[in-house]
Structure 1
Amino acid sequence: MDKLKMHSQNLTEANIDKLAALFPNCVTEARDAAGELKKAIDFDLLRQELSSSIVDGPQERYQLNWPGKREALLMANAPIAKTLRPFRDESIDFDSTRNLFIEGDNLEALKLLQEVYLNRVKMIYIDPPYNTGNDFIYDDDFSENSEAYFERSNQQDATGRRLVANTEANGRFHSDWLSMMYPRIKLAWNLLKDDGSLFISIDDNEVDSLKKICDEIFGAQNFVATVIWQKVYAPKNSAKHFSEDHDYIVIYAKNAASWTPTLLDRTAEQDALYKNPDQDTRGPWMSDNLTARNAYADGQYEVEGPTGKVFVPGRGLYWRHSKANFEKLIADNRIWWGADGNNMPRLKRFLSEVSGGRVPQTLWSYKEVGHTQEAKRELLDYVSFKNTENVLNSVKPTKLLKRAIKIATSANSDDIVMDFFAGSAPAGQAVVALNMEDGGNRRYILVQIPEVLPAPEDGFETIADLAKSRLRNFSAKVESDSNSQEGSSDGLKLDVGFRYFKIDTSNMNEVYYIPDAVRQDLLSDQVDNIREDRTAEDLLFQVLLDWGVDLALPITQQIIAGKTVYFVDGNALVACFDIGIDEDFIKQLVGHKPLRVVFRDAGFASDSVKINVGQMFKLLSPATEIKTL
């Protein structure tokens, strides 16, 4: 039941609505006296609409601008004092998997991964909110400078639930969506390899705005294509105007000049077009036109067929080959004159000479890559729902994602596929499924905010939980199939696991970042700069982040002189966060000659031991880099 307004009509808003009906191009978003965004009229454009000559106004230039753009840029660059905390119990094959699942705000995740995966990700696929008026978007706070943001991000509890409904009644409907997307795409660009690419699912609501911000971040010259995906198999007769049967996938390359798509497998229908009516020993072939409309000096001549009939290319047409080359083709039996030898000559193109694949096209039928109902059925195969309202409407079919991943990656190259709007994790499932099909060793990084589901479910409360459940059940199904155990060409077991992380406050106490907060009476609490609730493994992964070491590298543990020591990728990095480290322990550890070694700053038995550590490594393992936290 609606409530009474209890106030008179706002005539300004009514007048804006009237003008918007007459001049929709003059409607914009602007700040009011209180700094809030609201619908407004661009009076410069309105004056031009009402004038028969050019009117004075601000200098024109080609750009995309909206209220909050500068703040969005600030948000992309502002630092955070957060970390990734590993959760073994929520992971699968933690010690051996190379896949990562991160629960938390994707803007924060992208910032945390900047150093580790800079220029290392081959493909990023995202399925962001479409901004239909019913979506939830990230409530990023742009009302502070980078120092204030840094301080808040360290002290604020990491709930991860920073979503707000973006309805069409919102005065900054488009601006909020653009401000959310801009910093995330900007940070994503940093992660892509030079031959990497970005695939974004979107619909008509924001496809134009999305292309503009991608043009600005990637450069318009690096736009590759806009794919049209036929997402439904039957028209919606309830549609007001047209049945919306498609979505888009907008594709940009980090460097389009050097980016090359992987060819798709040829279909049986394509191969069936090749016949062999003349029993040519070279096998099936199909005929191709020998004429063209382009001017060609040597392309105007007569050709005599096997029955004596003479052919010319036709008015305004030219032969594609010179007369000398044409005669060579005839001698090689590569010209088809028809069954009776009286037809216009055509070139025989043999199936055996066709390349091993087909160039991707921009129209993807649901028959090839699936539709929305198929996507929901896939989700229900791996997740049991008590409440139907929790079944995600925007989920994508894995066949669609496998098509995109196949185009953007190579099977045996350790390519990283990232999705930081992971949803129910169809991208993770698609990576594993594609590896099963072609023996590839791709790996994934997924990020999903713990958005609360509309209704409570047994076993999971958020979309991140839902995604984790889907990946777990999919993994169990794959491993139960004995034929999937040899999933890669080198005979290694298929990687169906993932390391699960949650974004949290830094492992360091606040005073580590905000020394001004220390008072005389608090000094006794600052003997240790590590938070009390953090484990050695928490510290290890913060070290990996800070040092820019791959979070998916294998990790082993050893007990040396009674201390727990972590070895990352052999001796690439060695870490010990125990206390009471003495010289006997160091003498044994230095024998491993690690490339990097890290200790807890308060972990040394004495100051003299701490001093001697550097000297011992300098003498016995001079290449080792030493750090403390």
Structure 2
Amino acid sequence: MDKMKQETADLTQENIARIGELFPNVITEMKDEKGKLKKGINFNLLKQLLSGDVVDGEECYDFTWVGKKASIVEANTPIRKTLRPCIEESKNWETTENLYIEGDNLDVLKLLQESYLNSVKMIYIDPPYNTGKDFIYKDKFIMDKKEYEEQIGMYDEVGNHLFQNTETNGRFHSDWCSMMYPRLKLARSLLTEDGVIFISIDDNEVHNLRKICDEIFGESNFVTEFAWEKKKKPSFLHKNVGKLNDYILCYVKNSLASHPFSVETTTERKKYPFNNAGNGLATLTFPARYVKFNMPDGIVEPQDMSEGAIVTQLLDTVQIDGGYNVNSFRLEGEWRYSQAKLDAIVKNSEEIVISKVPFRPNHIKVGGEIKKMKNVLSPIHYQMETNEDATQQLVALFGADLFDNPKPVKLLNYLIRAVTYATKDAMILDFFSGSATTAHAVMQLNAEDGGNRKFIMVQLPEPCDEKSEAFKAGYKNICEIGKERIRRAGDKINKEIEESNRQLKLGEEPKKPVDIGFRVLKVDSTNMKDVFYAPSEYTQKTLTDQISNIKDDRTDLDLLYGVLLEWGLPLSMKHEIEEIDGIKIHIVDNDSLIACFAENISEAVVREIAKRQPLRAVFRDSSFASSSDKINVEEIFKLLAPNTSVKVI
């Protein structure tokens, strides 16, 4: 029976395996820091295979900084951590599909790689701008001796915490780049193929951020650099100009799969002629009962219908009944549309109209035309809100100004709407969530258009300054502010929906309440005792002497969410608890997974679980008294549920 690893994937080894599939002769062996053999890449040989010219030592375009290699390694390095559920701080735990995760976002992004790979439609982040006054993450990077000597004093033994990156720091820009690179690299893999990322930034690092994103997402996937007018009155702190705006960099994961950004559509129905400025004769087949004829019903015989510059020849007899063609027919002409385009029009239920003989089909888009979003976000364009508006929104919710420089709800509302107008059940991620404006905007937009978008908020529990209004109001850290904002904003939104529904006019459909809940999860050390991380390092006697491989302070729910992460299952899945012969079993998403973490499990319980034929089943390793008991469990599942994947922790 397989054991679960309870650690994140080793992305480096996975990448090596992919390269090995293409170039098996470049795979070699090397020793790790403990002297054990592991697979590696012969990079000199790989370069030779890919090019006759080696770039080492030659001039080439490159963007680098002190610590870049270490930041790349950091993105691929696995961690032995988990997410522990916190029901008491959550809202609507049983029914919500939203998540609020507390912890270092680098850890969280690694932990989410399996469960949310290619699943997030949109990411928005508002990272530290590196102004010389704000705090950034100090990551504990692995570095060789030379790098350490060059950077000694910059990193202490306690990793993953914040420090104030002042301009007097010799690695002022480098530290910021090292913080951003691994996070963006991990974030990209979470995006859907048509996914989008928006990053707020100002003048201090916009140039470096653009280069980092060009490297991670690709220059061809750059969309635009939005200018957001953040102030009603300009700041004159700049020597030469009065500044009004910040920037929002936007990239897509794959430009070929992306769609236009739009927050509005035209109201008129647009006509597009089929045979205007064609490119040579071609034949299109028009499906039966689809083309609308604005002419009397009857029979139209095959004939040449060319007139002037318009070349159209009907190749089949057409019977018109009720204004539509009874049978399919072919038209030969100089078409500006292809058959694939015609088929797409049919699929989208848009109209094709023929007004008269000679046949001149027009394509009429249903519901108007998408208007592409402008890259200026200001009060002139979209009635955009400013920082002052954002502060007032928080004051309206809390009665006090609790957070520095929050983003306004309408800004996030517009960005989310622009990329999810066609996918209103999309997942939205913000891993610098701050005051949770993104969550607020998701709930507000769902209330406006009936969507079912979900959010994942990630925030380090930064302590509030004891002199701040937030601390005086009883909030110890930023996470407490964010969670309370979601609670208050959600209650306000659903109350407004209830009031609106009480004032409905005859025939109007009532609005549905939106999901205003969230599951709170917190980053913590692994559920497993350290001795069990690498069994190969210990003797069999050492292992069998251990009573349990699970830490004493961990609950069944802790173990369950560790299993969900490793098996790559969404953390918002429905979860139920049942009892079989007095033993608790956890059922996730209607038998997608059944888990049982009881210390002593009878054969009857195992059989009952197997009879349900779940896709996956997991047990505690110490639940079985001997190896023969484990073998018996495997045999029961082979007999009753041969397609179930069974593992132990």
Please tell me whether the aligned partners of residues 72 and 142 of structure 1 are also in contact (alpha carbons under 8 angstroms).
yes
Q: Give the distance between the partners of 1:579 and 1:251, measured in 2 at CA.
A: 51
1:391 to 392, 403, 410: 403
Cα deviation, 1:309-340, whole Å, max 9, x if unaligned, reads xxxxxxxxxxxxx9968xxxxxxxxxxxxxxx
Please tell me whether the aligned partners of residues 119 and 193 of structure 1 are also in contact (alpha carbons under 8 angstroms).
yes
1:464 equivalent in alignment to 2:491: no
Please tell me whether the aligned partners of residues 93 and 497 of structure 1 are also in contact (alpha carbons under 8 angstroms).
yes
Residue matched to 2:351: none
Residue matched to 2:313: none
1:363 to 376, 398, 415: 376
Please tell me whether the aligned partners of residues 161 and 450 of structure 1 are also in contact (alpha carbons under 8 angstroms).
no
Residue matched to 1:483: 498
Q: Give the distance between the partners of 1:234 and 1:458, measured in 2 at CA.
A: 30
Please tell me whether the aligned partners of residues 138 and 160 of structure 2 are also in contact (alpha carbons under 8 angstroms).
no
Q: Give the distance between the partners of 2:499 and 2:208, measured in 1 at CA.
A: 43
Residue matched to 2:11: none
1:255 equivalent in alignment to 2:254: yes
Q: Give the distance between the partners of 1:113 and 1:423, measured in 2 at CA.
A: 19
Q: What amino acid is aligned across from residue 355 of structure 1 in structure 2?
A: G
SS at match of 1:234: coil
1:623 equivalent in alignment to 2:643: yes
1:218 equivalent in alignment to 2:229: no
2:418 to 407, 413, 432: 407
CA positional deviation for 1:517: 8.3
Q: Give the distance between the partners of 1:106 and 1:380, measured in 2 at CA.
A: 27
Cα deviation, 1:109-141, whole Å, max 9, x if unaligned, reads 000011111111111111111111111110012
Residue matched to 1:532: 552
Using a 3 Å threshold, how does the CA distance of structure 1 residues 485 and 179 change in structure 2: closer, same or farther?
A: farther
Residue matched to 1:296: none
So what's the TM-score if we normalise by structure 2? 0.69
SS at match of 2:226: strand
Using a 3 Å threshold, how does the CA distance of structure 1 residues 521 and 621 change in structure 2: closer, same or farther?
A: closer
1:611 equivalent in alignment to 2:631: yes
2:528 to 508, 525, 535: 508
Please tell me whether the aligned partners of residues 104 and 160 of structure 1 are also in contact (alpha carbons under 8 angstroms).
no
Residue matched to 1:421: 432
Q: Give the distance between the partners of 1:484 and 1:628, measured in 2 at CA.
A: 51
Residue matched to 1:433: 444
Q: Give the distance between the partners of 2:159 and 2:410, measured in 1 at CA.
A: 30
Please tell me whether the aligned partners of residues 139 and 162 of structure 1 are also in contact (alpha carbons under 8 angstroms).
yes
Residue matched to 1:377: 392
Please tell me whether the aligned partners of residues 139 and 159 of structure 2 are also in contact (alpha carbons under 8 angstroms).
no
Please tell me whether the aligned partners of residues 497 and 511 of structure 2 are also in contact (alpha carbons under 8 angstroms).
no
Using a 3 Å threshold, how does the CA distance of structure 1 residues 250 and 476 change in structure 2: closer, same or farther?
A: same
Please tell me whether the aligned partners of residues 383 and 466 of structure 1 are also in contact (alpha carbons under 8 angstroms).
no
Q: Give the distance between the partners of 2:543 and 2:638, measured in 1 at CA.
A: 34
Aligned pairs for 1:147-546 (under 5 A) are: 162-237=161-236, 239-266=238-265, 355-366=368-379, 368=382, 369-385=384-400, 390-393=402-405, 395-410=406-421, 412-455=423-466, 456-483=471-498, 493-514=513-534, 526-546=546-566
Q: What amino acid is aligned across from residue 599 of structure 2 in structure 1?
A: I
CA positional deviation for 1:240: 3.5
Please tell me whether the aligned partners of residues 115 and 565 of structure 2 are also in contact (alpha carbons under 8 angstroms).
yes
Q: What amino acid is aligned across from residue 98 of structure 1 in structure 2?
A: E
Please tell me whether the aligned partners of residues 425 and 446 of structure 1 are also in contact (alpha carbons under 8 angstroms).
yes
Runs of 5+ unmatched residues, structure 2: 1-55, 145-156, 271-306, 311-363, 502-508
CA positional deviation for 1:414: 2.5
Residue matched to 2:346: none
Please tell me whether the aligned partners of residues 76 and 186 of structure 1 are also in contact (alpha carbons under 8 angstroms).
yes
Please tell me whether the aligned partners of residues 131 and 166 of structure 1 are also in contact (alpha carbons under 8 angstroms).
yes
Residue matched to 2:597: 577
Q: Give the distance between the partners of 1:520 and 1:117, measured in 2 at CA.
A: 36
Deviation larger for 422-431 or 447-456: 447-456
SS at match of 1:164: strand
Q: What amino acid is aligned across from residue 381 of structure 1 in structure 2?
A: A
SS at match of 1:85: strand
Cα deviation, 1:49-83, whole Å, max 9, x if unaligned, reads xxxxxxxx973211101111001101111110000
Cα deviation, 1:434-489, whole Å, max 9, x if unaligned, reads 11111111111111001111223343211111111111111222333353898xx9
SS at match of 1:211: helix
Q: Give the distance between the partners of 1:490 and 1:600, measured in 2 at CA.
A: 48
Please tell me whether the aligned partners of residues 561 and 571 of structure 2 are also in contact (alpha carbons under 8 angstroms).
yes
Please tell me whether the aligned partners of residues 436 and 484 of structure 1 are also in contact (alpha carbons under 8 angstroms).
no
Using a 3 Å threshold, how does the CA distance of structure 1 residues 258 and 509 change in structure 2: closer, same or farther?
A: same
Deviation larger for 255-264 or 83-92: 255-264
Using a 3 Å threshold, how does the CA distance of structure 1 residues 516 and 590 change in structure 2: closer, same or farther?
A: closer
Runs of 5+ unmatched residues, structure 1: 1-56, 146-157, 275-281, 286-321, 326-350
SS at match of 1:366: coil
Deviation larger for 104-113 or 490-499: 490-499
Cα deviation, 1:390-409, whole Å, max 9, x if unaligned, reads 5222x111100111111122
SS at match of 2:623: coil
Q: Give the distance between the partners of 1:402 and 1:526, measured in 2 at CA.
A: 53
Please tell me whether the aligned partners of residues 581 and 605 of structure 1 are also in contact (alpha carbons under 8 angstroms).
no
Please tell me whether the aligned partners of residues 262 and 419 of structure 2 are also in contact (alpha carbons under 8 angstroms).
no
Aligned sequence identity (%): 45
Using a 3 Å threshold, how does the CA distance of structure 1 residues 461 and 161 change in structure 2: closer, same or farther?
A: farther
Aligned length, in residue pairs: 485
CA positional deviation for 1:184: 0.5
Please tell me whether the aligned partners of residues 237 and 243 of structure 1 are also in contact (alpha carbons under 8 angstroms).
yes
Q: Give the distance between the partners of 2:226 and 2:102, measured in 1 at CA.
A: 30
Please tell me whether the aligned partners of residues 123 and 196 of structure 2 are also in contact (alpha carbons under 8 angstroms).
yes
SS at match of 1:481: helix
Cα deviation, 1:240-289, whole Å, max 9, x if unaligned, reads 432210011111111112201342225xxx88xx9xxxxxxx9xx9xxxx
Q: Give the distance between the partners of 2:510 and 2:195, measured in 1 at CA.
A: 25
CA positional deviation for 1:356: 3.9
1:592 to 612, 619, 622: 612
Q: Give the distance between the partners of 2:172 and 2:120, measured in 1 at CA.
A: 32
Q: Give the distance between the partners of 1:409 and 1:373, measured in 2 at CA.
A: 27
Using a 3 Å threshold, how does the CA distance of structure 1 residues 412 and 193 change in structure 2: closer, same or farther?
A: closer
CA positional deviation for 1:616: 1.1
Using a 3 Å threshold, how does the CA distance of structure 1 residues 493 and 220 change in structure 2: closer, same or farther?
A: same
The alignment yields a C-alpha RMSD, in angstroms, of: 3.3
Using a 3 Å threshold, how does the CA distance of structure 1 residues 458 and 578 change in structure 2: closer, same or farther?
A: farther
Please tell me whether the aligned partners of residues 494 and 513 of structure 2 are also in contact (alpha carbons under 8 angstroms).
no
Residue matched to 2:36: none
SS at match of 2:240: coil
Residue matched to 2:574: 554
Cα deviation, 1:562-607, whole Å, max 9, x if unaligned, reads 1111111101111111111011111222221111010101012554
Please tell me whether the aligned partners of residues 161 and 451 of structure 1 are also in contact (alpha carbons under 8 angstroms).
no
Using a 3 Å threshold, how does the CA distance of structure 1 residues 482 and 414 change in structure 2: closer, same or farther?
A: closer
Q: What amino acid is aligned across from residue 261 of structure 1 in structure 2?
A: P
